[in-house]
Amino acid sequence: MLKIGCHLSSSKGFEHMGREALKINANTFQFFTRNPRGGSAKSIDPDDAARLMELTRQHGFGPLVAHAPYTLNPCSKDQKTRDFAYMAMADDLARMEYIPGNYYNFHPGSHVGQGTEKGIELIAQMLNDILKPEMQTTVLLETMAGKGSEIGGKFEELAAIRALLRPELQEKVGVCLDTCHVHDGGYDIVHDLDGVLDEFDRFVGLGHLKALHINDSMNPMAAHKDRHAKIGEGHIGTEAMVRIIGHPKLQGLPCILETPQEDLDGYGKEIEMLKKEYKK
């Protein structure tokens, strides 16, 4: 069964997001763990978290995806920025234990002139320092569009980060594939989806692919831009998106819309359309 949902605001708490998801027939969703551009996080309400877990069990939700703030950059040149990355990820993961068994997705980071190799090392170092095998959350590296000095625009970079992880953390770190980002990054998921998935499998291993961000792209392939479009209104198109969510090798993965919708209703319609096309 298709696991599909969208990014939701966490301002009214955990259970509220579950109820919002149900309103639009979603069976997964994504949320920011804290202000995406700042740093502060609300203190956790364990009862609210427990009510969400109960709701997701009752309604057969797939795994949920928490998204780290954009300002989290473990491979910054600046020590203060790296310190924030450590603090924010450690704190977010501690709070994720109240909603066990879900995903924590982050942008690997930008090396800002230090070089890809150094960036990869710093990212892996943070994961090795913060993650513990007993944590109940799987951390996901998001595939990026490769803008500026972003790490994660190539599958081999994500594989290189995973290769530096302590052996006991190998199963704690997976990948979230963002369709807009990989398309902007130069992977032709429109005309050669099988080829792209084969390449992912060769470098990272499809078993480590845990979630999809399903976004159309405002820019042509390999633009290295990262501007999301509504499904069917960009260079990927509805047909290719339906092939992606329906691909036999991608079944069961939570599919999260991060499209520029104005309101919940917009996401509801996008979900309804994709579900209908998926069944054909």
Could you say which of Zn ion, Fe ion, none residue 216 binds, taking C-beta under 5 to 8 angstroms by partner kind?
A: none
| 230 binds, options Fe ion, Zn ion, none, Cβ within 5 to 8 A by partner type | none
CA torsion, ordered 266, 271, 272, 276, to nearest 10 deg: 140
The least distance separating Zn ion from the CB of residue 276, rounded to whole angstroms, comes to 26
CA 90 to CA 97: how far, in whole Å?
Answer: 11
Pattern of binders to Fe ion over 120-149, x per CB under 5 A? ----------------------x-------
Cβ 215 to Zn ion shortest distance, Å: 7
216 binds Zn ion (CB under 5 A): no
Q: Which of 84, 213, 230, 231 binds Fe ion (CB under 5 A)?
A: 213
Nearer to Zn ion, 36 or 205 (CB): 36
Q: Looking at 126-134, 219-227, 238-246, 267-275, which segment touches Zn ion (CB under 5 A)?
A: 219-227
226 binds, among Fe ion, Zn ion, none (CB under 5 to 8 A by kind): Zn ion
Number of residues that bind Fe ion (CB under 5 A): 3
Tell me the DSSP string of 47-109.
HHHHHHHHHHHHTT----EEE--TT--TT-SSHHHHHHHHHHHHHHHHHHTTSTT-EEEE---
Check residue 20 for interaction with Zn ion (CB under 5 A): no
Q: Between residues 37 and 280, which has the closer beta carbon with respect to Fe ion?
A: 37
Q: Does 226 participate in binding Zn ion (rule CB under 5 A)?
A: yes
Structure tokens at 266: 């917009």
Query: Are the CB atoms for 135 and 99 separated by under 8 Å?
Result: no
- Name which of 150 and 226 has its Cβ closer to Zn ion: 226
Q: Under 8 Å CB-to-CB from 224, ≥6 apart: which residues? A: 145, 146, 147, 153, 184, 185, 186
User: Would you count residue 178 as binding Fe ion (CB under 5 A)?
Assistant: yes
Closest CA to 180 of 240, 137, 264, 266: 240
Question: Are 228 and 259 a contacting pair, CB within 8 Å?
Answer: yes
Comparing CB distances to Fe ion, the nearer of 82 and 213 is: 213
Nearer to Fe ion, 53 or 89 (CB): 89
Asked whether 161 and 123 are in contact (CB, 8 A), the reply is: yes
Give the shortest CB-144-to-Zn ion separation in angstroms. 8
Cα dihedral 44/47/48/51 (nearest 10): 140
State the residues that interact with Fe ion by CB under 5 A.
Answer: 142, 178, 213
State the residues that interact with Zn ion by CB under 5 A.
Answer: 226
